[in-house]
A and B are shown apart, each in its own frame.
Chain A
């Protein structure tokens, strides 16, 4: 067979795949698979026993999600639900899809997920919902039409403004700062970075100058090297904000063993157990975080309330989440856990997670 013929066949096959004309960004109408909650929640409905709930973190063996998972399991025990934790070993955009499909295939009642990429998981989540699963996102949201409720750890404003305030206090109000983020598409990271930028534009922070946003991909080694890179690229750098647990721990490790210790300030979102020694040795003055176990707990309770018909995800619905008390669903199906906690040398020993 003529080699060119083979090539032509392959190419024409591919071109045929792309049939019909003129689909550009402008002409493309957005997919509006909007979900209307026709059914009404019955606030007095009891939580069902024996609900099957899949807990799907961004990545397994990530300390932050391990703590959230503990909270989810606590809630599971409290409401007699079977909570199953599963997930990919890497935080790539597409690696959660297999697990979402599996949950649908296993006919689970609900899925509690922190999305690696809001859009990449959306088609699979929609398909799971069409098969009867209730979908609760926590920590990092998926496209809003692909889930029932999003459990927000704290509003973006509270978190981002808090981070800027902490770094401003740490560097004494002036100097160059940088952000060390997770993955470039993490929904929460990008929302926070936006708010941080608008916070920095305020007059009280006029002394601070954001010089770079680096991405450590929530990978320890990458974050470590990006920290090194930031310090080399910006000799006048005074502070780093790393609003990710992996990033802030890697950055702290680098700083504590370098000449920059105590000279370059670091704050971020970290877990007390990871950050304890860096707070004690003076590398980090303060950092913040919500309690991820409460986040997992609330998300699991919410999933159970959805699966039991107490709520449907509509704005204004109220429900009780065990020990955490009463919650109300806000606009766009969002529930806010509460303001983050700030950890310093003085209070860090009260926390163990």
Chain B
């Protein structure tokens, strides 16, 4: 636990460094309200999906199909909207479909005992394919401004984007669930030692199924946010986003082997990745460099927490 805390301290330190160097090197525009608003918009969907995915990874599983569920949800919104459904019915419907997509992942993993990595690589392709079947190559863009403005305007009188408000509300819910409920304890227990968790009476399969359902539902919500933010429902929305989300979660100090990690660390990871990207673009870094930096960060995100942990273990070992 001590070494984990150390990684989160390092993350906060890195955040401060990025914020300060950013602020100085851009003559104060990096931390201006306007830029923070844009930054918030850019990381909104990633922050949302990272929440349930943190729980999934802490439980020792993975869900790579989340970005495809986002795309499926976006495609469904467009298709149902064209079919004349009211948005008030469409939105709950796509969240239910997202939850069902998650449940399908969860059932394959828990009932058939298949590895989640293989299952969700499969459904990554399957759900994206379904999205293309639903909406094809077309885009639907004629959504009313009363909805799309949630994705383009800040909360009145502030610079806070609505998607971030939603992410914060959900972060509190997920934070309480993971860190202050018996459900959360069982998630850690499963990730640390699944066998032990089962023998201590935790209903492992049920917990895992719930986590996959949550991941699907929240990915669908992220799809709603994405669709309105760009006022564009398309089957290829959010293509490749799963990598950004997994990177943020791992950078946040969650162990890919399960059992370790905090939601706070993940939120710091999301902010660090998003902030760095925003800063590099603001400073006119070329796209090539941007791609390389993102790749290196992915590596660091896997290496750094495990290195700090090893250093921590070494210290403990030496008398």
Residues of A near any B CB (own CB < 8 A): 1-3, 6-7, 9-11, 13-15, 17-31, 33, 60-61, 84, 86-89, 92-94, 97-99, 101-102, 104-107, 117-120, 122-124, 127, 131, 183-185, 215
Contacts and interface: CB of A to CB of B under 8 A. Distances in A.
Given A93-B237, A123-B152, A7 B214 contact: yes
Nearest to B211: A3
A350 B36 CA distance: 50
Contacts of B176: 1
Given A6-B210, A89-B291, A101-B38, A94 B237 contact: yes
19 contacts: A1-B177, A6-B183, A7-B210, A11-B217, A13-B166, A21-B86, A24-B86, A28-B142, A60-B287, A87-B287, A98-B42, A104-B34, A107-B29, A119-B231, A120-B139, A120-B141, A123-B231, A127-B152, A184-B139
User: Number of contact residues on B: which range applies?
Assistant: 35 or more
9 smallest CB-CB distances across A and B, nearest first, come from A184-B137, A119-B141, A31-B145, A1-B181, A28-B144, A120-B230, A123-B152, A101-B38, A18-B91
B173 A14 contact: no
A10 B143 contact: no
A185 B230 contact: no
A23 B147 contact: yes
B84 A185 contact: no
Nearest to B135: A184
B35 A14 contact: no
A25 B169 CA distance: 30
A185 B138 contact: yes
Given A6-B173, A184-B139, 17 more contacts: A3-B183, A6-B177, A11-B92, A14-B95, A17-B224, A18-B92, A24-B87, A26-B84, A89-B288, A102-B38, A104-B34, A105-B34, A120-B231, A123-B151, A123-B231, A127-B152, A184-B137
B181 to A, nearest CB: 4
A25 B90 CA distance: 12
A99 B281 contact: yes
Given A105-B282, A123-B231, A18 B143 contact: no
Interface string B280-309: 011010111011000000000000000000
Contacts of A87: 287
Given A22-B86, A24-B85, A105-B38, A123 B214 contact: no
Contacts, number: 168
Contacts of A24: 81, 84-87
A102 B86 contact: no
B213 A7 contact: yes
Contacts of B169: 13
Interface centre among A2, A29, A84, A98 (most CB of B within 10 A): A98
Interface centre among B141, B206, B221 (most CB of A within 10 A): B141
Contact of A14 (B86, B91, B146, B231): B91
Contact of B287 (A88, A102, A107): A88
Given A6-B183, A18-B92, A31 B210 contact: no
A185 B86 contact: no
B206 A3 contact: yes
Nearest to B34: A105
B232 interface: yes
Nearest to B162: A17
A133 B287 CA distance: 23
A127 B152 CA distance: 9
Nearest to A19: B88
A232 to B, nearest CB: 19
Interface string B199-230: 00000001100100110011001001010011
Contacts of A27: 86
B234 A10 contact: no
A6 B237 contact: no
Given A14-B95, A86-B281, A97 B145 contact: no
Contact of A29 (B144, B278, B287): B144
Given A10-B217, A23-B88, A89-B287, A119 B137 contact: no
Contacts of A88: 287
B38 A94 contact: no
Contact of A106 (B29, B141, B152): B29
A105 B29 contact: yes
B82 interface: yes
A185 to B, nearest CB: 5
B217 A7 contact: yes
A184 B136 CA distance: 9
Contacts of B142: 25, 28, 30
B88 A21 contact: yes
B236 interface: yes
Contacts of A86: 281, 284, 287
A84 B284 contact: yes
A78 to B, nearest CB: 22
B110 to A, nearest CB: 13
B93 to A, nearest CB: 10
Interface string B223-255: 010100111101011010000000000000000
B32 interface: yes
B91 A15 contact: yes
Given A10-B173, A18-B88, A185-B138, A1 B182 contact: yes
B234 A31 contact: no
Contact of A13 (B137, B141, B173): B173
A162 B32 CA distance: 50
Contact of B92 (A1, A3, A14, A119): A14
Interface string B136-180: 111101111111100110000000000000100110010011000
Contacts of B221: 14, 17
